[in-house]
Amino acid sequence: MKLNTLPVVTYPDPMLREVCVPCDPSDKSLKKLARQMANTMYANNGCGLAAPQVGVNKRIIVIDCDQDSGTRNPITLLNPEIIETRGPEELDGEGCLSCPGITVEVRRPTYAIVKYTDLNGEDWIIEGDGLLGRCLQHEIDHLNGITLFESCDMNARIKALKDYKAAQQAGAKPGDTSVE
């Protein structure tokens, strides 16, 4: 385990299939958890991380889809809820720190609107398309016990499970999107 990071829970750990419980925004321990989650996300080259991916059954996610600029500015969302998705559904590859070594084609709407509470107890709405819209939907799926394998269609799931088994045998680690 790296300094100030948490171990990443990997599929098929049953923790990933649990529906998470709401956070109490006044819980001061959430700030430390959010920091550790962000550090874990960055250490594994992720752009989002949900609490069950680090073994915590709480409705908290961290996201940073703008790392390419060289700056880190994670957003912590407590009790996030998708209030609307819109736009055409697009099929695109998604990786997941809890399913290392594979990328899976998942069809999602291009735009998401999410309400959440921040670490100071203030309510916000975040809207995003492209990578941010996809990441919001992916991480909120985790809070609802939905893994990458349930997010794709049946044919993609069969291929993904086969590829994941091969990736595990090849020693894939969180952050790996392929083993080639």
Among 43, 67, 48, CA closest to 142: 48
- Whole-number Å distance between alpha carbons of 148 and 77: 20
Q: What's the pLDDT at 85? A: 98
- Catalytic residue of the set 81, 90, 139, 180: 139
The yes-or-no answer on residue 139 being catalytic is yes
* Measured CA distances, 58 to 16, 50, 87, 142 (Å): 12, 9, 30, 11
Termini Cα distance of the chain: 25
Q: What's the pLDDT at 2? A: 54
**pTM of the entire structure?**
0.95
Q: What's the pLDDT at 28? A: 96
- Which of the four pLDDT bands, split at 50, 70 and 90, describes residue 178? confident
Q: What's the pLDDT at 152? A: 94
- E-strand ranges in the chain read 48-50, 60-63, 75-94, 104-117, 123-129
